[in-house]
Structure formats: C-alpha cells, structure tokens
C-alpha cells in the first residue's frame, strides 16, 4: 500500500507529486528539501477521489486526499507580483498554502536531476510562523483531510 500526496500549485500544469515511497512528502522544516516530480494532468474531479485504483491501471493503489486547501502566489520581482506561469518558466515558485494540514510559505525550485529523466523540483518550507509545526506532517497527520479515514480504512471500504 502506498500513500500519495498531490499538491496542485496552479492551472499552468504544475502538480507536485510527492510519494513517500521515493521521497518523504512535504516537510515543515525549512532545512529539509524534498523531491517533487510533476505528473500528468488529471481531471479536477480527481482532487476529491479516495479509494483504490485496481492493479494494472495508471496510478494503481490506495489513494487518499491527504490535504486540501488553497494557495496564494507570493513570488515577486522588482516589487511586483510575478505570475505563476512566469515563475514556472523561471524555475522558482513561491506560494502561501492555506490547507487543512499544510500552512504557510513553500518554495518549489527546478533542479537538474541525475535520477529522474522528468523535470524535477525541490519543495522547501519557508521560514515563517508555521515552520516546524509539526516537523514531520506526513507521519503525524495520517488521516484523510476529507473523510478522516486512514489508508487502511480507505482500502477496506473500497474492497467492501
């Protein structure tokens, strides 16, 4: 069983895909940098899907909505707010997250990865009042932001 966390950053096709099987998910520690690899676009209604995707299908496994909320673009250049699209092109995005679990500033920085052929980013928590609260949110906050269920409960409910 795997835990998948999707954090949609913008309509400009950047979705940070964090899978604790290959990275540890988001951190609230500004000193910690975690890998974020964009995925294919998904229909918006998938944002509220919890259940099990059968083996052999794309995204197979148990899916949980780990966090849900909104974001606010905060990246500025020369005192002016820079668009998300321009920030994406430039390789550095800065947002304030207003989620049920993740809050405060986060930066995504494009990197050259020797491990992944796909475009890769680092997700870094900014220094703010939400830093280090909790220090390891993925392991502390293990229930769905939508239903309060655990991965095991979601899998059991999906299998009847």
3-state DSSP call for residue 121? strand
- 103 vs 45 pLDDT, higher one: 103
Is residue 5 scored above 90 in pLDDT? Answer: no
Q: Is the pLDDT of residue 2 over 50?
A: no
* CA dihedral sign of residues 12, 65, 26, 113: negative
- Model confidence at 149, in pLDDT bands (50, 70, 90)? very high
Q: What is the pLDDT of residue 103?
A: 92
Segment 13-60, tens digit of pLDDT: 334 433 333 356 788 999 988 888 776 666 777 778 899 989 998 878
Using CB atoms within 10 A of its CB, is residue 159 exposed (0-12), middle (13-18) or buried (19+)? exposed
């Amino acid at each position: 069983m795997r835990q998948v966390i999707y954090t949609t950053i913008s309509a400009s096709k950047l979705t940070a895909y964090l899978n604790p099987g290959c990275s540890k998910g988001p951190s609230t520690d500004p000193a910690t940098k975690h890998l974020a690899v964009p995925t294919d676009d998904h229909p918006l209604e998938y944002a509220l899907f919890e259940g099990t995707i059968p083996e052999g299908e794309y995204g197979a496994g148990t899916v949980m909505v780990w966090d849900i909320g909104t974001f606010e673009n905060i990246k500025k250049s020369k005192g002016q707010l820079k668009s998300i699209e321009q920030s994406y092109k430039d390789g550095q995005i800065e947002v304030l997250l207003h989620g049920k679990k993740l809050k405060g500033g986060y930066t995504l920085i494009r990197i050259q990865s020797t491990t992944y052929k796909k475009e890769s980013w680092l997700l870094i928590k900014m220094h703010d009042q939400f830093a280090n609260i909790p220090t390891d949110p993925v392991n502390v906050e293990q229930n769905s932001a939508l239903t309060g269920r655990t991965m095991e409960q979601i899998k059991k409910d999906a299998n009847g």
